[in-house]
A and B are shown apart, each in its own frame.
Chain A
Amino acid sequence: MIDIRNLSKSFGQVQAVRDVTFSAPDGAVTGLLGANGAGKTTTLRMLSGLMKPDAGSLTVDGIDVCAQPLAAQARMGMLPDARGIYPRLTPREHIHYFGQLHGLAGAQLVASTAALIEKLGLQEIADRRSEGFSQGERTKVALARALVHSPRNVILDEPTNGLDIMSTRATRELIRRLRGEGCCVVFSSHIMQEVSALCDRIVVIAHGAVVAAGTPDELREKTGCDSLEDVFVKLAGLEDDAEEIP
């Protein structure tokens, strides 16, 4: 359960996030939809505890992220915008390392690692050094290490960015499975199909502010548009922008 209230953040003159409020319940997938630069990544960075908000509060399972960042981080699994991996470590070693940093050890760590390798289809490359991995393989490693401690709250920043069709499918499958396990899943995307295929709830962000939130049906109703793409374009105010996305 993630709860974000009145969140604001500025970088100099630019207000990247203004008064953002939304919550993401357990057992559901919440999509953060917005054009590039709308403020999705900044919001998630504040949620991760690595960036201090100028105003507002963030709680994860009732824990205040700003007051107790480590306790909040322990309850989250996050795939951030940066998904750098260590070229001289194997995927298994990556997962182990992050598991140990979460305090896992022994049989529990081994079992959790093995389960993730299988879930993400990493068996063939599990013990190969990561140097020269494809974008998809790197994302899978980053995803696996983020989930090693079986977090109840999973936050994914543009998880399918740069992935091929099969990897995208696998990722969607994983997201559905996490929801089935009762996790609170939040993911950000600028791709309509993705959001409509996966999300129970959608939060549309434009120019740093929430412009609409609700189930896909609620949003269609509210805007009077049939396709979610039209909903998105209308809500995000993209039609007013000079640079339209073709």
Chain B
Amino acid sequence: MTFSWQRTLVVFRKELMDGFRDRRSLYSVLFSSLVSPLIMALLFTTMAERQRSADELRLPVAGQAYAPAFVDWLSQQSGITIIDAPANPEEAVRKGEQDVVLLIDKNFAAKFSRSLPAPVKLVGDVTRDTARPKVQRVRSLVNTYSSQIGSLRLMARGVSPAVASAIRLEDLEVSSAQQRAARILSFLPFLLVMAAFVGCLQIASDSTAGERERGSLEPLLLNPVPRSALIAGKWLAAACSGALSIVVSVLLCIVVLSRIPLHELGGRFHLGASSYGLLVVIVLPLVFCSSALVIFVAMLARSYKEAQTYLGLLITLPLLPGILAPLYPMTGKPWLAVFPIVGQYALMEDVLGGNPPAAIWYAVAALSLLGSAILLLALTTRQLRREAIIFGRG
């Protein structure tokens, strides 16, 4: 099979110029590179916001007059500001106007002074994720107050407070904000793989299915250029736009994650520059394969629209391993690198998990992607000899 680098470059330059004059390809690069950082930013800020809202709580309390000492104690706790309760607390919580309301019963003082359990109601909605940290905080404050007073009462009666506690339970919470943050980071491989596909989609389909639809494929093939060089040029142009998406995407992720006050989440997780570098090293070769796959599929379509239908289905394929990852963990299996796409997920999970695999596996992964790309390109080149492809127009 003949090949020509020089002609490949001619096609590459033309497709790149043509592609970047096309608004649709700019949009697809823009969309695919913005979506990861934006989703990251959104998830992290929401999480930080919720954490902060539990720490700094404006707590509506009804019946403050019935228990001035209790209310006074509450207001002295850090971050707590006592405000007046709405007229109908239950309704307010149900409608989401308030996340939590504390109701002090009018019998509070009477029961309290007789050392009977004083009734206090906590109005909350367990189905609301945003409210949960606040409800937990208020409940633990009330419990603290209750046990402090209880201890004082026992001491006043000459009994050691320790007698009243058969068990001392200490909370060692491990699934804290830190872990939730790690879970958010696990979206990253998924988003980067998507960027590799979406970023090359437009140029790859416009230069194949679009070429057929416009009726410009036949004139193009009349030039004395090996078909392999035509396909290679189109492939390189598509891969370039995919690579651009990934690089921009990772750079924006770095900016976004450095702006988010991660320390407020109490976590010590942070991705170092080297981790980002490794992610890029893992995902970047994916554009070889993704653009070759899109070109192969789109060349079978007679029109741009038909290509969109096929590609809509195709794009779900690389996302499958990402979706299945929680069910079939791929950590610590760097040999998965021999499989295109699955390997990228496996390697990225290890990097994010803080155990970057040995250097050889990056090379294995890149070679496997390049190999599958060349196979797909050879198949596409063969397609380009079929008369149904050359002359069949949409």
Contact = CB atoms under 8 A, between A and B. Distances in A.
Given A80-B219, A81-B218, A88 B10 contact: no
A142 B220 CA distance: 11
A70 B225 contact: yes
Contacts of A169: none
Contacts of A100: 7, 10
A69 B223 CA distance: 10
A83 B215 contact: yes
Interface in B56-91: none
Interface string B198-241: 00000000000001001111111111111000000000000000
Contacts of A81: 218
Interface in B100-155: none
Interface stretch (B163-171, B274-282, B386-394): B386-394
Nearest to B225: A101
Contacts of B2: 70
Interface stretch (A71-79, A204-212, A219-227): A71-79
Which bucket holds chain A's interface residue count? 20 to 34
B387 A51 contact: yes
A145 B222 CA distance: 11
Given A50-B221, A50-B390, A83-B219, A88 B22 contact: yes
A165 interface: no
Given A50-B387, A101-B7, A85 B222 contact: no
Interface residues of B, number: 28
A48 interface: yes
Interface string B6-23: 110011001001100110
**Contact residues of B: prevailing secondary structure:** helix
B379 to A, nearest CB: 19
Nearest to A82: B215
B383 to A, nearest CB: 14
Interface in A60-74: 69-71, 73-74
B224 A71 contact: yes
A84 B214 contact: yes
A82 B224 contact: no
Contacts of A142: 219
A142 B10 CA distance: 18
Contacts of A85: 214, 216
Contacts of B215: 82-84
Contacts of A177: none
Given A88-B22, A93-B17, 7 more contacts: A52-B387, A69-B224, A82-B216, A82-B217, A84-B219, A85-B214, A98-B223
12 contacts: A50-B387, A51-B391, A69-B224, A71-B224, A83-B219, A86-B214, A86-B216, A89-B14, A93-B14, A97-B10, A101-B223, A102-B223
